């Protein structure tokens, strides 16, 4: 077990979903836990719970899209606990709809959180972890980035979300390869969950006022995407607690890819075959054509 008592975990999106469950696991392992989240009330409640489990906790209100705030998080972590052994760049938001119907603010908000939030975490924590590895031959560090199966499948009507999650997969693979050039002590991992009840379908509640389009109503495609997302997420049978355990298991085994639903990889294989064979993208609804028929009907009707 590489993540153990006395070590430190930094977790963004720590007040709910995967982040809260990962905080619970870290506390049970005897780790120090730096809990970062944009929701102050939820963060306070969550940090109290993790403290009650016996962990030393540093709660930190954080908008991961803000570079200076992430830099401040890293400084506060090092000052309190030293270099972390786990950095879980997990905070994310959801948004759907036809890709050309996203407003500029939609793009800025989702890219800022889902993509740049991860980039900031990689940028500010990796050098500190490498320095810790250079100073201590026994140090082992893990950076886990939350992407999504959407980043591997690129399903329709999920627009900017797909774009950001595909970019996180690419960033994580590059991080893995780059780390391998310079160290054997710091490792990268990417989490690609499918539909898991986490509350991400309610992420609009945390959208800053400056990122909202005043007076602009959601389009039909966006309303349909929101309804489909809520149904899919809330009906998921794999729990956030199970996924968080998968994260720690992958770190213990030094396994890069972390999947919540391995059966979904059939679609990933089909997409890879489309690319290798230079054929047009396969209909994502080929195995359940009734869903595709209903979605097309809903989008095309007046």
Q: Residue 211: pLDDT above 90? A: no
Percent of all residues in the chain with a pLDDT value above 90, rounded to a whole number: 84
Mean pLDDT computed over 206-211: 81
- What are the chain's domains? 8-260 (3.40.50.720), 264-302 (no CATH)
- Would you state the pLDDT for residue 255? 98
For residue 196, give the 3-state DSSP assignment.
Answer: coil
The token pair at 167 is 């970019």
Find the helix packing angle between 67-81 and 117-135, rounded to 10°.
30
* Contact criterion met (CB below 8 Å) for 185 and 141: yes
Neighbouring C-beta atoms of residue 194, cutoff 10 Å? 20
161 is catalytic: yes
Active-site position among 139, 161, 194, 259? 161
Q: What is the pTM of this model?
A: 0.94
pLDDT band at 187 (very low <50, low <70, confident <90, very high): very high
* Contact criterion met (CB below 8 Å) for 189 and 144: yes
């Amino acid at each position: 077990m590489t993540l153990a008592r006395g070590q430190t975990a930094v977790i963004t999106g720590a007040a709910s979903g995967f982040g809260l469950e990962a905080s619970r696991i870290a506390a049970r392992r005897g780790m120090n836990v730096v809990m970062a989240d944009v929701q102050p009330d939820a963060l306070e409640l969550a940090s109290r719970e993790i403290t009650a489990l016996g962990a030393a906790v540093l709660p930190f209100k954080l908008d991961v899209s803000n570079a200076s705030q992430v830099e401040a998080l890293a400084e506060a972590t090092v000052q309190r606990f030293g270099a972390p052994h786990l950095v879980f760049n997990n905070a994310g938001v959801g948004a759907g709809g036809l890709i050309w119907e996203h407003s500029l603010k939609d793009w800025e908000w989702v890219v800022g959180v889902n993509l740049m939030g991860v980039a900031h975490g990689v940028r500010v924590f990796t050098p500190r972890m490498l320095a810790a590895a250079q100073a201590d031959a026994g140090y082992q560090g893990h950076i886990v980035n939350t992407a999504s199966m959407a980043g591997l499948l690129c399903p329709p009507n999920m627009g900017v979300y797909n774009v950001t999650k595909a970019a996180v997969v690419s960033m994580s693979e590059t991080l893995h390869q780059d780390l391998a050039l310079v160290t054997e002590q710091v490792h990268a991992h990417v989490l690609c969950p499918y539909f898991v009840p986490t509350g991400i379908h309610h992420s609009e509640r945390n959208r800053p006022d400056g990122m909202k389009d005043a007076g602009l109503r959601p389009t039909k495609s966006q309303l349909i995407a929101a309804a489909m997302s809520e149904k899919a997420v809330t009906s998921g049978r794999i729990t956030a607690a199970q996924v968080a355990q998968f994260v720690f298991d992958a770190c213990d085994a030094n396994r890069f890819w972390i999947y919540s639903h391995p059966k979904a990889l059939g679609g990933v294989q089909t997409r890879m075959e489309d690319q290798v064979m230079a054929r047009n993208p396969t209909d994502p609804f080929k195995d359940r054509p009734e869903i595709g028929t209903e979605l097309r009907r809903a989008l095309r009707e007046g």
